[in-house]
Amino acid sequence: MNIEMIQQKLLEKIHIDHLRINEHMSKHTSFKIGGPADIMVLPTTVDEIKHALTLCKEYSIPYQIIGNGSNLLVRDKGIRGVVIKIAENYNAVRVEDNIVTAQAGILLSTLSKKIMEYALAGFEFASGIPGTLGGAVAMNAGAYGSEMKEVLQGATLMDDKGNVIYLDRDALELEYRNSIVLKKGYIVLEAKIALQFGDLGKIKEITNELTQKRTTKQPLHLPSAGSTFKRPPGFFAGKLIEDSGLKGVRVGDAQVSDLHSGFIVNIGKASAEDVLNLIGLVQKVVRDKFGVDLHPEVRIIGEE
């Protein structure tokens, strides 16, 4: 792959300020881990997203779509090809009556504050979930008994040929940490959220209560990718890990959090290899002790 040639092609429709070459992914993940990406695109419009995508397809260049990197582990060798980061450059939001329409790059925390200004209720659960709206739609993110599928009305998506389509909630096939977005490799461009008008004081009270729970029970003071494992049917991953005697266990600077065993945290200069080895260790011990297979919730990408 000729990096300079691809860069020039991208610059035909994307401003140079929105391109990065040999960009270290540790700058773009909440884990603070990850080797360099050959090219990173920070699009501001649908046309820029489409240009980058169709160019990758035309020249058979591998590409990755990421948001804020809050559920992401990038391997130490980095990423070959193009990373399209849909985040802070693509985060407009508008509110009409009880319907909120927002671009995929907006942070859930930012969106929650905007929604609160209109005294709209039902989105409080998402206020502390790290990451972008696009990622939340793709994986049907949830917390404290609620999920995105309860508030989503529909989403505007781009397929791998650059076509823009709209799917309503049912067509999105939202299920536990999965959706048609992940199954088909779609890109989330925009989402519509339907809420109810409520009491602003009560909305703030619920939001503050959930924030308090997170700050006291989750290791938010250390870099991580959130919950490391999906919830196995009938169990809680964190409890299985703790009951296996793994709380505080380390591989290099990767550690099973001593505050919440469902999190693996970076306590210094952990490498992706450290994290992957610790994930493997946790999986083996839990399987041997309880006969339960743990599957990563964190998305693992990059050159092996």
The H-assigned helical ranges of 59-177 are 108-117, 133-138
For residues 19 and 42, the answer to whether their CB atoms sit within 8 Å is: yes
- pTM equals 0.94
In angstroms, rounded to a whole number, what is the distance separating the alpha carbons of residues 97 and 280?
48
Residues listed for the chain: 304
For residues 261 and 218, the answer to whether their CB atoms sit within 8 Å is: no
Pair (196, 104) in one structural domain: yes
- Short-list 143, 124, 129, 128, CA closest to 203: 124
Domain boundary among 150, 178, 203: 203
- In this structure, the dihedral spanned by the alpha carbons of residues 263, 267, 269 and 275, taken in order and rounded to 10 degrees, is -20
Query: Would residue 198 count as lying in a domain?
Result: yes
In angstroms, rounded to a whole number, what is the distance separating the alpha carbons of residues 274 and 266?
9
Query: Would residue 208 count as lying in a domain?
Result: no
The question of whether 30 is a catalytic residue gets the answer: no
Pair (76, 98) in one structural domain: no
pLDDT at 215: 86
Domain boundary among 85, 115, 142: 85
- Short-list 121, 99, 100, 117, CA closest to 202: 121
- Short-list 112, 148, 106, 149, CA closest to 131: 106
* Domain harbouring 148, CATH code: 3.30.465.10
For residues 18 and 295, the answer to whether their CB atoms sit within 8 Å is: no
Pair (275, 174) in one structural domain: no
| Element at 212 (helix H, strand E) | helix 200-217
Query: Would residue 210 count as lying in a domain?
Result: no
The question of whether 297 is a catalytic residue gets the answer: yes
The question of whether 80 is a catalytic residue gets the answer: no
In angstroms, rounded to a whole number, what is the distance separating the alpha carbons of residues 117 and 1?
48
Query: Would residue 209 count as lying in a domain?
Result: no
Pair (97, 195) in one structural domain: yes
pLDDT tens per residue, the chain (304 residues)? Answer: 688 899 999 999 999 999 999 999 999 999 999 999 999 999 999 999 999 999 999 999 999 999 999 999 999 999 999 999 999 999 999 999 999 999 999 999 999 999 999 999 999 999 989 899 999 999 999 998 899 999 999 999 999 999 999 999 999 999 999 999 999 999 999 999 999 999 999 999 999 999 898 888 899 999 999 999 999 999 999 999 999 999 999 999 999 999 999 999 999 999 999 999 999 999 999 999 999 999 999 999 999 9
- Short-list 97, 54, 58, 81, CA closest to 187: 54
DSSP string covering 215-233, please? HHHS-TTS-EEEE-BPPPT
- Please tell me whether residue 50 adopts helix, strand or coil conformation: helix
Query: Would residue 10 count as lying in a domain?
Result: yes
In angstroms, rounded to a whole number, what is the distance separating the alpha carbons of residues 170 and 152?
10
Query: Would residue 213 count as lying in a domain?
Result: no
What's the domain count of the chain? 3
Query: Would residue 212 count as lying in a domain?
Result: no
Pair (108, 194) in one structural domain: yes
pLDDT at 3: 82
Token output for 43: 């699009």
Residue 18 pairs with which residues in a beta bridge?
A: none
In angstroms, rounded to a whole number, what is the distance separating the alpha carbons of residues 223 and 137?
23
- In this structure, the dihedral spanned by the alpha carbons of residues 270, 273, 278 and 283, taken in order and rounded to 10 degrees, is 150
Q: Which domain holds residue 153?
A: 93-203
In angstroms, rounded to a whole number, what is the distance separating the alpha carbons of residues 142 and 176?
9
* Domain harbouring 242, CATH code: 3.90.78.10
Please report the sign of the dihedral spanned by the C-alpha atoms of residue 9, residue 10, residue 12, residue 13. positive
pLDDT at 34: 98
The residue annotated as part of the active site, out of 48, 177, 179, 261, is 177
Domain boundary among 178, 203, 228: 203
pLDDT at 4: 86
Q: Which residues contact 167 (CB under 8 A, 6 or more apart)?
A: 154, 155, 157, 180
Pair (229, 267) in one structural domain: yes
The residue annotated as part of the active site, out of 112, 127, 227, 261, is 227
